[in-house]
């Protein structure tokens, strides 16, 4: 009804199947860098309206073809 998808990992398999923390750690670091860069360049904080723009920059820096292959 609301297009909500739930992902469930089977019991006792999370150590094998859990989503990798490494790409998310890099994404957070890239977002922090992009957010800081936006703030310095524009003297503005990232608002809800600007989040997608700044997040997009971080996403494309994080998920490069070479990073996806690894």
Secondary structure of 1-64 in the HEC alphabet? CCCCCCCCCCCCCHHHHCCCHHHHHHHHHHHHHHHHHHHHHHCCCCCHHHHHHHHHHHHHHHCC
Res 18: pLDDT: 65
- What is the Cα–Cα distance from 6 to 17, expressed in whole angstroms? 15
Which single residue is written with the structure tokens 């999370």?
A: 14
- Asked whether the whole model's pTM tops 0.85, one would answer no
Domain boundaries, the chain: 19-69
Residues 14-24: pLDDT tens digits?
Answer: 666 666 666 78
User: Percent of the chain, pLDDT > 90?
Assistant: 47
Res 66: pLDDT: 78
């Amino acid at each position: 009804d609301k297009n909500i998808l739930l992902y469930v990992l089977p019991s006792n398999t999370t150590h094998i199947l859990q989503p990798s923390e490494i790409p998310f750690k890099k994404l957070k670091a890239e977002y922090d860098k992009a957010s800081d860069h936006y703030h310095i360049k524009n003297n503005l904080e990232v608002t809800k309206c600007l989040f997608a723009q700044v997040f997009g920059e971080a996403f494309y820096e994080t998920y490069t073809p070479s990073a996806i292959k690894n």
